[in-house]
Amino acid sequence: KAGVTQTPRYLIKTRGQQVTLSCSPISGHRSVSWYQQTPGQGLQFLFEYFSETQRNKGNFPGRFSGRQFSNSRSEMNVSTLELGDSALYLCASSGGPPAGEKLFFGSGTQLSVL
Amino acid sequence: QKEVEQNSGPLSVPEGAIASLNCTYSDRVSQSFFWYRQYSGKSPELIMSIYSNGDKEDGRFTAQLNKASQYVSLLIRDSQPSDSATYLCAVTASGGSYIPTFGRGTSLIVHP
pLDDT tens-digit profile of A26-41?
999 989 999 999 988 8
Q: What is the CB neighbour count within 10 angstroms for residue B76?
A: 23
Q: How far apart are CA B111 and CA B81, in angstroms?
A: 6
What is the average pLDDT across A15-27? 97
Please write the tens of the pLDDT for every residue from B40-58: 999 999 999 999 999 999 9
Percent of chain B with pLDDT over 90: 79
- Closest to A106 (Cβ–Cβ): which among B32, B43, B103? B43
What per-residue confidence (pLDDT) applies to B71? 94
What per-residue confidence (pLDDT) applies to B66? 95
Give the best residue of B32, B42, B98 to mutate against chain A (max A CB count within 10 A).
B98
What per-residue confidence (pLDDT) applies to B94? 65
Radius of gyration of chain A (CA): 13
CA A25 to each of CA A110, B27, B92: distance values in angstroms, whole numbers, following the listed order: 18, 30, 21
What per-residue confidence (pLDDT) applies to A39? 87
pLDDT at B96 over 80: no
Percent of chain A with pLDDT over 90: 82
Please write the tens of the pLDDT for every residue from B97-109: 678 899 999 999 9
What per-residue confidence (pLDDT) applies to A40? 83
What per-residue confidence (pLDDT) applies to B1? 64
**E strands, A1-114, in order:** 5-7, 10-13, 19-24, 31-38, 42-50, 53-57, 64-68, 74-78, 87-94, 104-105, 109-113
Residue of A nearest to B98 (CA): A101
Distance from CA of A37 to the nearest CA of B (A): 10
Q: With beta carbons under 8 A apart, name residues in chain B contacting A108.
A: 43
Distance from CA of B18 to the nearest CA of A (A): 26
- Closest to A105 (Cβ–Cβ): which among B32, B43, B99? B43
Which of A62-71, A104-113, B1-10 has the least mean pLDDT?
B1-10
Residues within 8 A of A (CB atoms), B 78-107 only: 88, 90, 92, 97-105
CB burial of residue A105 (10 Å; 0-12, 13-18, 19+): buried
Angle formed at CA A30 by CA A24 and CA A32, multiple of 5 degrees: 55
Residues within 8 A of B (CB atoms), A 55-94 only: 55-56, 90, 94
- Of the segments A30-44, A45-59, B77-91, which one has the largest average pLDDT value? B77-91
Q: With beta carbons under 8 A apart, name residues in chain B contacting A105.
A: 43-45
Please write the tens of the pLDDT for every residue from B60-81: 999 999 999 999 999 999 999 9
pLDDT interval class at A104 (50, 70, 90): very high
What is the average pLDDT across B75-90? 97
